[in-house]
A and B are shown apart, each in its own frame.
Chain A
Amino acid sequence: MAEADALYGFAMMRMRDHHHAEELVQDAILTAWRKRGDFKGESSIKTWLIGILRFKILDFHRSAQRTPTMRNQHAGADDDPSDPMDRLFDAHGSWKIHPSAGLEILSDSPDHTVGQLEKIARLNHCIMCLPETLRVLFTARELNFMDLEDAADLARVAVASIPVLLTRARHSLRACLQAFGISPE
């Protein structure tokens, strides 16, 4: 059952509703249980479970009823109207803070195990700090490789606004990581 939390976290990054997340996790675990004979040990059990869950999530999105929900043209406005860019740049569009400060975390070599887990923990925190719409969109496009239409439906935004919204998400994540790097606690 230790894996259940990890699976739940995985699903929550991609779903708007924790009930759906729970259902899909349950579905994935039961499927794995039924098909345990298929597991040959080529990967860890967790990786295998996540693979099954990933598939279930994609399936869920594909077959979900596409009710014509009101797409928020000014998406993200309901979550958090402030633009992260406003905090990073002055009135002339120049940096208020050195663009490279505190971001060694991104360029450090990936072979140091402890460093790697810490990096991920920080990124994790930063992703969870994103407003919901941006988090769902970032996950959908960057991690799930969902196509634009599906990602737009999931996040309930206009397709055309996706690049701008992803930009906001990326800059928020970057600024969050930078803050960590500058004053780690």
Chain B
Amino acid sequence: MPLGYRVSHWILGLPLKWLGISCRDFALLASLEMDRKLTRAEKFRMRFHGAICQFCRELPEQFNQLRQLARNADLLGELAADLKMSEEAKERILREMRREPF
């Protein structure tokens, strides 16, 4: 971690925690806001922390990118692509298919 961060957070860390505006609080809210409406107090805390701490600013965008990556991968059907179905199950499917009338 950059020295600037370490120094400022060594000084400010505990007060930030007491006030509920630590980096961890921000990181929590950045994710929660993707699933529910934040209260006014929560929104304010997020904005406040974002204003004083440059390191955390990218977090909401990271979560959005993560979501997009997952959805794109899902559309391509590429997730969990290395799982293998059992041979018996595959045999069963082939048997059923052969029973189908043409």
Binding site for B on A (CB under 8 A): 1, 4-10, 12-13, 22, 25-26, 29-30, 33-34, 46-47, 50, 85, 88-90, 92-100, 103, 106-107, 110, 117, 119-120, 123-124, 127-128, 138, 141-143, 162-164, 166-167, 170-171, 173-174, 177
Contact B82 A85 (CB under 8 A): no
Contact B77 A6 (CB under 8 A): yes
Contact A99 B58 (CB under 8 A): yes
With a cutoff of 8 Å between Cβ atoms, the chain B residues found around residue A50 in the complex are 77
Q: Interface 1/0s, chain B 48-60, versus A by CB < 8 A?
A: 0000000110110
With a cutoff of 8 Å between Cβ atoms, the chain A residues found around residue B79 in the complex are 9-10, 13, 120, 123-124, 127, 143
Name the contact of A89 in the complex, choosing from B23, B62, B67 (C-beta under 8 A).
B23
Contact A170 B63 (CB under 8 A): yes
Q: How far is the CA of A180 from the CA of B35 in the complex (A)?
A: 27
Query: Taking A92-B14, A99-B58, A167-B31 as contacts, is the C-beta distance between A120 and B85 under 8 angstroms?
Result: no
With a cutoff of 8 Å between Cβ atoms, the chain A residues found around residue B77 in the complex are 6, 10, 46-47, 50
Contact B81 A6 (CB under 8 A): yes
How many residues from B make CB contacts under 8 Å with A? 54
- The binding surface of chain A is classed by DSSP as helix
B43 at interface, CB cutoff 8 A: no
Contact B16 A174 (CB under 8 A): no
Name the contact of A98 in the complex, choosing from B16, B25, B55 (C-beta under 8 A).
B55
Q: How far is the CA of A136 from the CA of B94 in the complex (A)?
A: 29
Contact A26 B84 (CB under 8 A): no
Chain B 37-53 interface residues, beta-carbon cutoff 8 Å to A = none
Q: How far is the CA of A164 from the CA of B32 in the complex (A)?
A: 7
* Nearest CB of A to B71, in Å: 6
Q: How far is the CA of A138 from the CA of B73 in the complex (A)?
A: 14
Contact B35 A106 (CB under 8 A): no
Contact A117 B78 (CB under 8 A): yes
Q: Interface 1/0s, chain B 71-95, versus A by CB < 8 A?
A: 1111011111111111001101110
